Chains A and B, each alone.
Chain A
Amino acid sequence: MKLDKNNLPDKNGFFGEYGGKFVPETLMYALEELETTYEKLKNNNEFKEQFYKDLSEFVGRPSPLYFAERLTKHYGTGSIWLKREDLNHTGAHKINNTIGQILLAKYMGKKRIIAETGAGQHGVATATVAARLGLECHIYMGSEDVQRQSLNVYRIKLLGAQVHSVDSGSATLKDALNEALRDWVTNVDDTYYIIGSVTGPHPYPMIVRDFNSVVGEELISQSKELFDSMPDAIVACVGGGSNAMGAFYPFIKFNETRLIGVEAGGEGVETGEHAAPLNDGTPGVLHGALSYLMQDDSGQVKGTKSVSAGLDYPGVGPEHSWLKDSGRAEYVAVSDDAALKAFHEVSELEGIIPALETAHAFAYLDTLMKEFDKNSNIIVNVSGRGDKDINTVANIDGIKI
């Protein structure tokens, strides 16, 4: 395996043995159409200019790389830097991908936009870009997530999109994806499906990664400017894995930078009640790709458990599976309790309320910072802000708002 070459996926959409295009026949032409359009546009100057213009003027990029002074003091070892994706318009990294994909939809002449969402951030980001272009937009969301992310549900509605609550299966992100795929199979001629993570069939894992890689690209120049070297580690939470992939991808060739993905450990990986397929799963096929998957002893997809709706997913993007097997990235898990502790700690120490998803990345600093000395630089990808999680955390703390 050649790690110095960032040329994956191969032409069939595989990252090593992972990835692929395992979808019902009806969707094959839509995937081919998308792939052809993307290959044509990705190096087109006009397309790139439009993408970066929107990121700058509408999203507010570049997002700062911010020195976390009190958090650094708290651990007393290396310098901790925060990549502030939480400051993006709509409050998370998800907007980077939707800005890119809506441009593809526009070039393809699609009139109707659909998306799945877990925590609601991708739903908000999709509804936002659809509103900007005046396109009809439908968001699928598990009914359990509709409950725990009610603020984002209302935001999506305010943006003029329709929210479809999904009751089937475990009523979370996985089931929202199932329902979005069913919609796509039915309305494939005029509908563009904006997948929100580096998951799904080829070419989605590649497209979502590429659009989100603006994060890693900015980190390269910001690291040079702020501490004149590559970072010693980048830490990011992993559900489907889009924020991590966007930060990791441009760094794959810099072997001096450790890439660390933090999965949702739920009640603890050892209890089986979690959402950590890279830590406790086996390869399997879900939602169009072969990747690490949580499955039982007869090949059924297992239910997941996480306090964070955005990480509550039994699968993971195929490129992460490849990065894990190749040893280029490390994948760990932290529990709900640890994430909640970090959520409070970071809020109080830094004046930044992180999303519960992001809190998982912060929680791992307890372990990680012991491995570094004062001269090292650690970047945490602050994938989103925690406003949407206030109700969940207040409930857990027994506080009525």
Chain B
Amino acid sequence: MNRLTNTLEELKNKSKKALVAYLVAGDPDIETTLELMTVLVESGVDIIEVGVPFTDPIAEGPIIQKAHDRALKNNVSLKSIFEMVDKFRKNDNDTPLVLMGYLNTFIFNKALIEDNKNDVIDSVLVVDIPGELKLKDYGVYNPNINTISLISPTTKKDRIESIAKNSSGFVYYVTLRGVTGASNLDVNEISSNIEEIKKHASVPTLAGFGIKSAEDAKLLSQCSDGVIIGSSIVQMIEESSQSKEFDRISTYITDIKKAIS
């Protein structure tokens, strides 16, 4: 069974919320990303979103944009990400891994997705496409890889059903109008929209974009099946990139985990 589906089901059975962490592969360098992924898992992260750097990341705020730039300076490509993930799998064959990136990278490298050598990746999440778009139509396909669709506060009700059905891992609810790392959460709107999504989705609905504090995480976990944290982690990675001391990240994750438990 797919690791992502498996993990989400286990959490559901235990009535627990999922904690998803995002980082950009290759920031500050690919070896450190590998190290950081282990740090995240040890601190309590259930699922890791591995950001695939792109030259034109239009959905990202400044923090993650800069991380993409740093990774690209290190010549990180989808190919080198697969090699890194392969190493990760030698020690961890349970944590679900989601590749998150932009359509052009996946179309250009569709052979890598089709191959998914050693079955290391569990899911693909493309941020610059509408929710109903089927990646398969563009040749991005592997029967063992889930695809995650996004629904946003501006998604009209009549589209929610078809988007939810197009999502095979979880539905990613974008909690705000804006880019990653922004700060204009409207909890009432979020909770009523997620309620609507849950009527149609057979997979869990997780919330992401703009979640920073343990308090945000707690609030949003109450109306969703889990939360996704990105910019805050990427910012801490940037600040610790010289010292390579990632204790702060561990503490941060542990606090969030406690808050949503």
Contacts and interface: CB of A to CB of B under 8 A. Distances in A.
A299 B59 contact: no
Interface in A321-340: none
Nearest to B75: A298
Given A26-B174, A174-B56, A182-B179, A301 B104 contact: yes
Nearest to B209: A26
A300 B109 contact: no
A21 B129 CA distance: 8
A299 B108 contact: yes
Contacts of B177: 26, 185-189
Given A168-B69, A174-B56, A25 B150 contact: yes
Contacts of A168: 62, 65, 69
B202 interface: no
A157 B169 CA distance: 48
A299 B54 CA distance: 9
B127 interface: yes
Contacts of B105: 298-300
Contacts of B54: 300
Contacts of B145: none
Interface string B40-61: 0000000000000011111111
Interface string A20-62: 0111111111101000000000000000000000000000000
A182 B57 CA distance: 9
B128 to A, nearest CB: 6
B79 interface: yes
Nearest to B150: A25
A30 B156 CA distance: 11
Contacts of A169: 55-56, 69
B92 to A, nearest CB: 26
A186 B159 CA distance: 21
B131 to A, nearest CB: 5
A230 B173 CA distance: 55
Interface in A293-309: 293, 295, 298-301
- The listed residue with most B CB atoms (<10 A of its CB), out of A175, A182, A301, is A182
Contacts of A181: 58
Given A24-B58, A169-B56, A186-B178, A298 B108 contact: yes
Contacts of A286: 56, 104
- The listed residue with most B CB atoms (<10 A of its CB), out of A32, A186, A284, A285, is A285
Interface string B152-194: 1111100100010000000000100111001000000000000
Interface string B71-96: 01000011100000000000000000
Given A22-B129, A287-B56, A28 B154 contact: yes
Nearest to A315: B56
A186 B108 contact: no
Interface residues of A, number: 34
A181 B61 CA distance: 11
Interface string A112-156: 000000000000000000000000000000000000000000000
Contact of B109 (A21, A26, A299): A299
Given A24-B58, A25-B131, A26-B177, A285 B155 contact: no
A68 B62 CA distance: 50
A295 to B, nearest CB: 7
A298 B178 contact: no
Interface string A254-286: 000000000000000000000000000000111
B58 A182 contact: yes
B103 interface: yes
Contacts of A301: 55-56, 104
A288 B103 CA distance: 10
A54 to B, nearest CB: 31
B151 interface: yes
Counting from the closest, the 6 A-B pairs by CB-CB distance are: A299-B108, A298-B77, A186-B178, A26-B152, A301-B55, A285-B104
Given A25-B152, A28-B130, 19 more contacts: A22-B129, A24-B128, A24-B174, A25-B131, A25-B149, A26-B152, A26-B177, A29-B156, A168-B62, A175-B56, A185-B177, A186-B177, A188-B154, A189-B154, A284-B107, A285-B102, A285-B104, A288-B128, A301-B55
